[in-house]
Amino acid sequence: MSHIPRKRFGQHFLHDPAVIARIVAVIQPRDSDAIVEIGPGQGAITLPLLQTAGRLQVIELDRDLIDPLRERCREAGELTLHNADALHVDFCRLAGDVPPLRIVGNLPYNISTPLLFHLLSQAPCISDMHFMLQKEVVDRLAAAPGSRQYGRLSVMVQYRCKVTRLFTIGPGAFQPPPRVESAFVRLEPYRELPVAVQDEAVLENLVRQAFAQRRKTLRNALRGILEEEAIRRLGIDPSVRAEMLGLREFAALANHVASRRTGNLSE
């Protein structure tokens, strides 16, 4: 295939055979799987996935890649191409009545975070996700409380998914080489969430505000949402920063706010 990578689509095409083989081995596609690939590009992963699973749906925004990809995979299996922006795709509709989707992709760096949040909103329709992302993003996904990388993305993804960092991928595996290292990660949506949250919208808003200005203490970051004494009564020090709290603490804060709004406080 002859195609000039387009900066506006964030295109960096994977071409290293060893990396491709390692990715497919980690995904372990089976012929019973309902797999969706986001951003297949020139088909480096598409072809081996299709040859193993027998059928595959792909979402590609660049119209110029559609016909070459269809031709390359013509004899490999049943390929369904969607010329669409993954940020606006209804993945639950793609799943239909089949088993939950397995989603894979080399995600463009410029849309990776909003796309992850879009996918999290449809987590019940997804079995697992395997993504190539900027290493810095994977570090944030897997970060623990107290670390520099820990933030809103860490909390909200870890609330929804088990995060497994798999391996790093150097710039030379792509054409053109990106200026940063990449990493491969597995996200497995929980069927039973690790903490009980009364209102997920409240949790999302609280976490967003808590990390909006990282250097602020909780008493200042959450001003207008929670009073200092209410934070203290929950067993949380209001003088610490948001990066020191784990999922349980964020859930406790969010549930207090939600209960207060519905008038169900036990205090």
Q: In the structure encoding, which two tokens stand for residue 99, read together?
A: 């088993």
**pLDDT for residue 138:** 97
Q: Is the pTM of this model over 0.85?
A: yes
**Cβ distance 152 to 158 under 8 Å?**
no
Tell whether the model's pLDDT for residue 11 goes beyond 80: no
Quick one: 200-262 is in which CATH superfamily? rRNA adenine dimethylase, C-terminal domain (1.10.8.100)
Q: Measure Cα distances from 29 to 55, 56, 72, 119, 168 in Å.
A: 10, 10, 19, 20, 21
Q: Taking a C-beta distance cutoff of 8 angstroms, is the pair 23, 130 a contact?
A: yes
pLDDT tens digit sequence for 203-214 = 999 999 999 988
pLDDT at position 179: 84
Q: Which position has the higher pLDDT, 77 or 6?
A: 77
Who has greater pLDDT, 176 or 228? 228
Instruction: Report the alpha-carbon distance of residue 49 to residue 39 in Å, rounded.
Output: 14
What is the fold, at CATH topology level, of the domain defined by 7-189? Answer: Rossmann fold (3.40.50)
Mean pLDDT of the chain: 91
Enumerate the domain spans of the chain.
7-189, 200-262
Model confidence over 121-146: pLDDT tens digits?
A: 999 999 999 999 999 999 999 999 99
Report the 10 Å Cβ neighbour count for 173. 21
Q: What pLDDT, in 10s, does the model give residues 49-89?
A: 999 999 999 999 989 889 999 999 998 999 999 999 999 99
Say which DSSP state 88 is in: G
